[in-house]
Structure 1
């Protein structure tokens, strides 16, 4: 268990190497072997990770979800998502750790966010994409380990190739083509929630930020998620509260404060209204 749910750098190692243009690439075996192929649940602040698994397999945990994955596959893990791994011994692949601000900049160049593919996700890699993926990862690793002129620009260009390939690997995305205007507004709303949910802004604040009326935002949410905008904000708050309760030993009052609740009592009522359990009861049930 992570005391106070600390954000960590790579695989539980504390440090301060994070930088807005940080991009690091290494073989999967480099750290997994050191940890006997098991990486305990943790999460990163400001760092998004992309795993390209070419041999072997893994039991992976994303927050409270568990998946069994076999190679070849690609795993995308945004910052803030709790994740842990139980790798098959001698698995092979590449791990890319990229500063999320750098990722956002590259996404702007493409004109589409990887987050449109929805949180942490896994893509099966078809044979047609495996060699290009390996080639791009190899080029990123070589460039990241060099001290060449315009290195930052070259890394961004290679990362852009990787993200484009990831979009092409999504069958549904290929068939749907570009996002409609309501879908783009919905994705903007989801992104803003992830950035500002602890501030507990009203729905009208989010609607103004993305340039729609509150009624229209609710209509979009209902159309695509059968839920209103406030419920979507609350779902993110509840998910984050569950993370703290499951993976940390932070007191309930401390969790309430971190999530923007002025009164622990109100947080308790809010949590119970959505889960039918008090925070303390949910923690006991999850850890029992």
Structure 2
């Protein structure tokens, strides 16, 4: 069996500990250094999206070979072996983000988030206006990534959300997919996610969410354990911690202000709550993430 190396970025042994890692570069910037070939490798914690806007590419995904040109998009989740060979006139972008970024960016749309946990390949036509929109969005994202302008982190987060949603939409339109109507269980879980997004700062009880969705707390906890592996209280905690992390990384708010924003009357309790769920204090988490993002 051939050994397939695991990298943070191809050919680099840099740390991949940041939870908000974003990297964007042109295909040529890295592949040219390696004679237009990226040998099979994989990423332990990163999701990678490759978009070809000019030239040709041969891809090897888990040993399966595919040839494509302009308009080709490849989504490679963490742990999947992949390699490429490009033509010398290749143009396009490679976007690398932490594997669970989609879950953090689309907490209220788990169907979209879960789509990025799987490998996808599709091609779009030159006549597709969505392709022009995606090219522009990626160029703008890459330009912002290379600079250190005011609000850079927030801009990248918002733009990334738009890019991922655009790719998700383009895939389903390219395959003539119709989104199936939600089942009764899906509908209740969607309602629950919506309720949590609207009320998580209020620290409501499980009984409150059960009453709002029209089922018993026991039944609701059973549904969330089956769908997400945690009870309702676990989903609420995830949402609180997720927003806390975003405030800590993408804003300059003091920890005390973050606590108040999230409905905690006691900042010390918020710090203990955050540490219990993440293993790190809010201040230590902020320092580690910002340090990693700055390279």
| Corresponding residue of 2:25 | 26
Give the whole-Å Cα distance in 2 for the aligned partners of 1:12 and 1:2: 17
Give the whole-Å Cα distance in 1 for the aligned partners of 2:94 and 2:25: 5
Q: Is the 8 A contact 1:53 1:72 kept in 2?
A: yes
| Corresponding residue of 2:132 | 131
How far off is 1:22 after superposition? 1.1
| Corresponding residue of 1:14 | 13
The superposition leaves residues 51-79 of structure 1 with CA deviations (integer Å, 9 ceiling, x where unpaired) of 11011121111113221122111111111
Alignment of 1:120-199 (within 5 A): 120-126=119-125, 127-169=128-170, 170-171=172-173, 172=175, 175-177=178-180, 179-180=182-183
Q: Is the 8 A contact 2:103 2:110 kept in 1?
A: no
| Corresponding residue of 1:37 | 36
| Corresponding residue of 1:77 | 76
| Corresponding residue of 2:112 | 113
How far off is 1:2 after superposition? 6.5
The superposition leaves residues 98-146 of structure 1 with CA deviations (integer Å, 9 ceiling, x where unpaired) of 1123332113255533443672111212321121011110121122122
Question: TM-score, normalized by length of structure 2?
Answer: 0.57
Alignment of 1:199-218 (within 5 A): 209-210=225-226
Aligned residues: 191
Could you say what secondary structure the match of 1:10 adopts?
coil
The superposition leaves residues 166-212 of structure 1 with CA deviations (integer Å, 9 ceiling, x where unpaired) of 12211257523555467899xxxxxxxxxxxxxxxxxxxx9983259
* Aligned Cα root-mean-square deviation (Å): 2.9
Q: Is the 8 A contact 2:75 2:116 kept in 1?
A: no
Higher relative contact order (CA 8 A, sep 6+): 1
Larger radius of gyration: 2
Give the direction of change, closer, same or farther, for the CA distance of 1:2–1:124 in structure 2 (3 Å limit).
same
Give the direction of change, closer, same or farther, for the CA distance of 1:106–1:165 in structure 2 (3 Å limit).
same
How far off is 1:151 after superposition? 2.3
Unpaired stretches in structure 1, ≥5 consecutive residues? 186-205, 213-288
